[in-house]
Chains A and B, each alone.
Chain A
């Protein structure tokens, strides 16, 4: 199949970017989206042109490194897919695809389609952990955890931190990412000890990093590759309000 690609090229965070058009032929529907970019880059390399920079690593949808917006859709047209899981069979022969980086003020462009997502690390640093340290843990079966609670905690913990929620949010809010971690830890007995501080510190960090405020449009949950649910944001709000109204932790 043949595709026309309009790819965002930008030298660095301060430079002005623009869309550059490339045409690719001899593509096959079995190719993954990123393999298509590999192919383009090989053609560019042979011509001695600077290749398109894009983030990718595991290529099986779990590392969260790939971060492309295709025709305005974070991670491409398939819901709950990462870019690397998207295959060309999702497009038709002759389509024109506009490929842009994840955009948000807190995600400055590094080059072309690569963006800097350390702002998300900063949110976790603020409290997205259980402060136990190596060696201190009690025997794991001391505290039984209800099967469903554990599974529910997993649903939240599954977040891969890709940032598609931010990229697709009209407010560039990282609420889904932030709340997934808050919910994961608040649901488990181990995480309950620090729940009050955790949510407040993390929300503060979220705001300090310049992310926007959630207005519950729900777009984030529609694109999330791990299907983290909107109810996690509600959980975060619950935890936040709980922390303001309780006297002790």
Chain B
């Protein structure tokens, strides 16, 4: 199938309006005849569920948490971008579009990015109206901070808990619709398959995580807002239960998976402290506004940070990138940290960290200002490490964070399966090869609240005569049987290797070879390792208990089974792209001083992979055209 992005006609700045003007919509009276399944209760899924329910559709929402308020959008700290130009610093929708395209290293779709920037303006209004207590100036007007990769201040924030506040607003909007009866919640339910009937997504197979029952649910359209799959690295900033299963099962049912290898490695997470570690806590990028990153100039310098004089410190970001300094984009900052650590300048007991120092800022602004800006982050840091960051520098380290890749979607956010939509991090659309800070909350929110409700109607307008979708069809039978067979198969392994241990080993392989810095030899090795782990998993995983009730080990095993397949596709994708762009850094393609070398002639495309029934993947290219922006070498120097 050839990829058709369905980008609307007209100049870039008119495309979205042109689309809205001409798209088909559904009569309010007909909306209640239409069922929509939304998977995921975070900012994108939850926003979509609430907005669609407000429009009057029958919406069912599924999520594995006990409440939608716990979706991992909750953990986003720093902020959400919007081109409001409240600071009078020259910001505009175009500039935001420009920054995002450039930040993504010219590997994203122009029309989508422009639309995201356009909708950002409404989003702040929307969230304020919903009661989000954004940070404010003493005048009472909204305040902004700046984030990596841009030269303006366009980030709106609610202390260091912006994601939480946006999510709670979305969750509350969902609860409002639950009360009104247009939204039905299925908490503690996990999607195990997408059901495709006559080429269209018509339902899902889910497992009730409390009773263990496998259930069928049908709808006229299915929306996936299931987030990213960065947990594939085991150690990541993601929640323990975040997973790629829903998107992967959709992929196996025919949805193309785009740019799977583009994973953002966040530069400011807490370093791993030991083997047992399960999670790398993120420290917001906003800390880089006032914190300075450095390592000792001498290798293996074991002095306390306070004892190292300024002349023995290497502020390597300021040295290498004088224009942006500590505020270079995430991929650049992570890679620079890795380079220093690999060269033997890492700090901390495992030599796996760099310093993030607030001494200069505290001296200049005073402790109180720093406390108001980042108080909760410093508290969080102390809770986890027992170190007071007001007195000594934080130790930070890169960690897997965000999946730029995801299900391929067109301008309408529809995947290659008609009727199946992907929103937020689950799709691939807006961030190219690297996401800018505070664009993630933005993308998730606008996808769910503003874009999807307007594009899905185009598809649903043809469904008003379809009537209720029956779950009593061979397609549902088959999908349910496949799911049940897999559960049974997992439980019958009865091996001796705990699921988490296999996952940890997979994570190590992936972080070593398919993360910040990649090369052909390493990835070929990784593919072999992944295959070995997959074999070991299916032969020797220890999954105790049964499927008659809650069974976390079974849940984890199902997710890991998918990760073991996604991992391979990630490596395949990274191997096929013989250039360095954004987060995808191939060691073979770099300049002498270690900067990325892009190959626009051969690789200016999004790679959408088609599942070939487990034998291999077929590559489909969506060529990217840049008409409204000059394609340049990305430089932050």
Chain A residues close to B by CB (< 8 Å) = 11-12, 28, 30-32, 34-35, 38-39, 41-42, 44-51, 53, 55-65, 78, 81, 85, 87, 89, 110-111, 114, 116-118, 120-121, 124-126, 128-141, 144-147, 150-151, 153-154, 157-158, 160-161, 184-185, 188, 190-191
Contact = CB atoms under 8 A, between A and B. Distances in A.
Contacts of A59: 239-240, 278-279, 281
Interface string B64-108: 011101111011000000001010000000000000000000000
B278 A35 contact: yes
Residue from A31, A46, A47, A150 having most chain B Cβ neighbours under 10 A: A150
Contacts of B165: 154, 157
Listed from nearest, the 3 A-B pairs whose CB atoms lie closest are A144-B140, A129-B172, A137-B129
B128 A190 contact: yes
Contacts of B126: 134-135, 137
B210 A110 contact: yes
B415 interface: no
A12 B176 CA distance: 30
Contact of B550 (A41, A114, A117): A114
Contacts of A158: 161, 164
Contacts of B142: 140-141
Chain B contact-residue range equals 35 or more
Given A145-B140, A150-B140, A160-B164, 19 more contacts: A30-B273, A30-B274, A32-B279, A48-B544, A51-B545, A57-B240, A63-B74, A78-B383, A85-B380, A85-B383, A121-B67, A125-B175, A125-B179, A128-B175, A129-B130, A137-B122, A139-B125, A140-B84, A150-B134
A34 B133 contact: no
B606 interface: no
A34 B364 CA distance: 39
B392 interface: no
B136 A150 contact: yes
B552 A51 contact: yes
A130 B128 contact: no
Interface string B337-377: 00000000000000000000000000000000000000000
A138 B449 CA distance: 16
A45 B65 contact: no
Interface in B250-299: 273-274, 276-279, 281-282
A48 B140 contact: no
B72 A134 contact: no
Contact of B544 (A49, A114, A138): A49
B201 interface: no
B137 A147 contact: yes
B129 A28 contact: no
B62 to A, nearest CB: 15
B342 to A, nearest CB: 24
Nearest to B176: A129
Interface stretch (B217-225, B497-505, B617-625): B497-505
A120 to B, nearest CB: 7
A58 B67 contact: no
B131 interface: yes
A88 B72 CA distance: 25
B159 interface: yes
B17 interface: no
B199 interface: no
B145 interface: no
B494 interface: yes
B290 to A, nearest CB: 19
Contacts of B572: none
A81 B141 contact: no
Nearest to A48: B544
Given A144-B140, A150-B136, A158-B164, A57 B70 contact: yes
Interface in B520-546: 542-545
A66 to B, nearest CB: 10
B550 A53 contact: yes
B179 A154 contact: no
Contacts of B544: 44-45, 47-51
Contact of B549 (A12, A81, A137): A12
Residue from A12, A55, A87, A141 having most chain B Cβ neighbours under 10 A: A141
Contacts of A134: 47, 50-51, 54, 126, 173, 449-450, 453
Contact of B130 (A34, A39, A132): A132
Contact of B129 (A57, A124, A136): A136
B129 A45 contact: no
Residue from A12, A50, A137 having most chain B Cβ neighbours under 10 A: A137
Contacts of A53: 550-552
Interface string B162-197: 001100100111011011000001010000000000
Nearest to A84: B279
A28 B549 contact: no
A121 B380 CA distance: 26
A130 B129 contact: yes
A55 B161 CA distance: 22
Contacts of A131: 176
Contacts of B131: 129-130, 153, 157, 184-185, 188, 190-191
Contact of B494 (A42, A48, A147): A48
Contacts of A42: 498, 500-501
B240 A190 contact: no
A153 to B, nearest CB: 4
A134 B55 CA distance: 9
Given A30-B273, A57-B239, A132-B129, A62 B161 contact: yes
Contact of A140 (B125, B135, B386): B125
6 contacts: A41-B498, A61-B380, A111-B550, A126-B179, A133-B51, A134-B54
Contact of A35 (B47, B241, B277, B494): B277
Contacts of A11: 549
Contact of A129 (B47, B134, B139, B175): B175
Nearest to A157: B133
Nearest to B238: A58
A47 B134 CA distance: 50
Given A31-B276, A146-B140, A150-B134, A58 B122 contact: no
B498 A45 contact: yes
Contacts of A124: 171-172, 175
B161 to A, nearest CB: 6
A63 to B, nearest CB: 4
A237 to B, nearest CB: 21
